[in-house]
Copies of this chain bind each other. A is one copy, B any other.
Amino acid sequence: MSTCPIDNRVIRPIRFVAGQCQMLDQRLLPAEEVWHSYTTCQEVAEAIRTMVVRGAPAIGVAAAIGVWFGVRDIDTESSWEFYQELEKICAILLATRPTAVNLSWALERMKHFAESNLDRSVPELKIGLEYEALAITQEDEKINRQMGKHGEPLLADGARILTHCNAGALATAAYGTALGVIRAAVEAGKKISVIADETRPFLQGGRLTAWELQKDKIPVTLICDNMAGALMSKGEIDCVIVGADRIAANGDVANKIGTYTLAVLAKEHNIPFYVAAPISTIDLSLNDGSLIPIEQRDEREITHIKNIQLAPEGISVRNPAFDITPHRLVTAIITENGVVEDDYLTGLSQIIKPT
């Protein structure tokens, strides 16, 4: 573990140093900027599970790196045995978090690469998978910048934009999804201000979104999750933009718990509700959102902050990490291939494979 100042120009929560990967510990922000070094698959899996790294696209990137680290240590000359070991490594990483489909997307891509190159030697496969992991990381930033270009016309000059959780640089390789669209609008010269929900229990909004927007000098105001309705009723929010952890074929969106409430509030106040996510978030194998698995997390996330007790001992707690926003509440889904509105069933399947 090493502590060093973060790159002040472009926020990248995952970086590479001499065959190691370093991740900014997002559990400790904003009070501390601590980087951990990882060299094994197991370490990366633990970092995903314990939310050192979080955010659907960043989880995908981290998983690909985990595969790369895992295959480095496979001791065989048989490409077929190598592939079987690779599958075990992917299973370890897949078990870390169930909701974000980007995780399995990245693992499938790594497996597919190996499968397509089984005629190669094991050393060549290892090098190829390293390149593939780095490509997934680099592509993620490009994807987000594309998403920003497609999405920013939806944001008016002067817009006051509510966001939830962190769908920013910290949730991706760089630039962010929802915050990427906001960054693109700012880069296009628009005056934008952001209202960030703190996002209990993990406080990604207060700790991460506020931190990265402040760093990029984009005006941001922090509120508690329960204040969004009051601000909307006073006409202080022009639109909502959030990320996604998985999008079903019909456009139903799994995202951080509390997203659904914002979508209902947006509808009540006739405010557009946008979702920004890479196509790797779209899961056409699921007809609707009811089929998306929802991760239930530890009750201690709610009952304690560090060692401070926020609720009585032994209290019953519910802690779903995500909820489902039905497509009827979603004004548009912004991807790197374009924006989908209205008929998501057709639109998503078309956009996933652009002509």
- Which residues of A pack against B, CB within 8 Å? 30-31, 164, 195, 197-201, 203, 206-207, 210-211, 214, 219-231, 233, 257-258, 260-261, 264-265, 267-268, 302-303, 305-306, 308-320, 323-324
* Residues of B close to A261: CB separation below 8 A: 226, 228-230, 261, 265
Q: Report whether B221 and A309 are in contact in the complex, using a CB–CB cutoff of 8 Å.
A: no
User: Would A264 and B260 be within 8 Å (CB), given that A214-B312, A222-B303 are in contact?
Assistant: no
Residues of B within 8 A of A221 (CB): 315-318
Q: For A230, give its contact among B224, B268, B314, B320 (CB under 8 Å).
A: B320
Q: How far is the CB of A191 from chain B (nearest CB, A)?
A: 16
Give the dominant DSSP class at A's interface.
mixed
Asked whether B309 lies within 8 Å of A308 as measured between CB atoms, the reply is no
A310 touches B227 (CB 8 A): no
Contact of A323 among B198, B233, B318, B319 (CB under 8 A): B233
Judging by beta carbons under 8 Å apart, are A314 and B224 in contact? no
Question: 11 A-B Cβ contacts within 8 A?
Answer: A30-B311, A31-B308, A214-B312, A214-B314, A222-B311, A224-B225, A230-B320, A230-B323, A233-B324, A305-B310, A306-B308
The answer to whether residues A198 and B257 also contact, given A229-B323, A230-B320, A302-B222 and a CB cut-off of 8 A, is no
5 tightest Cβ-Cβ pairs between the two chains A and B: A226-B258, A229-B261, A230-B323, A200-B224, A225-B226
How many whole Å from A190's CB to the nearest CB in chain B?
19
Q: Which of B200, B231, B306 touches A200 (beta carbons < 8 Å)?
A: B200
CB neighbours of A313 from chain B (8 A): 30
Asked if A30 and B198 make an inter-chain contact with CB atoms under 8 angstroms apart, the answer reads no
What residue in chain B is nearest A294 (Cβ atoms)? B230
**Given A302-B206, A305-B305, also A315-B198 (CB < 8 A):** no
**Does A225 contact B225, Cβ atoms closer than 8 Å?**
yes
B residues in contact with A225, CB < 8 Å: 200, 224-226, 258
Q: Are B317 and A229 in contact (CB under 8 A)?
A: no
Assuming the contacts A233-B324, A309-B31, A310-B203, asked whether A316 and B226 have C-beta atoms less than 8 A apart, the reply is: no
Cα-based distance from A319 to B227 in the complex (angstroms): 8
Contact A220 B302 (CB under 8 A): no
Residues of B within 8 Å of A228, CB to CB, are 261
Q: Kindly provide the distance from the CB of A73 to the nearest chain B CB, expressed in whole angstroms.
A: 39
Q: Is the CB of A226 within 8 A of B257?
A: yes
Question: CB distance A222 to B317 under 8 Å?
Answer: yes
Residues of B with C-beta under 8 A to A302:
198, 206, 222-224
Choose one: B219, B265, B312; the contact of A316 (CB below 8 Å). Answer: B219
Residues of B within 8 A of A314 (CB): 214
The CA of A219 and the CA of B311, in the complex, are separated in Å by: 15
List the B residue with the shortest CB-CB distance to A221: B316
Q: Are B318 and A231 in touch, CB under 8 angstroms?
A: yes
Bound CA–CA A313/B30 (angstroms): 8
A198 touches B233 (CB 8 A): no
Q: What is the CA–CA distance of A226 and B227 in the complex, to the nearest angstrom?
A: 10
Give, as a whole number of angstroms, the nearest-CB distance from A239 to chain B: 17
| Residue among B224, B315, B320 making CB contact with A222, cutoff 8 Å | B315
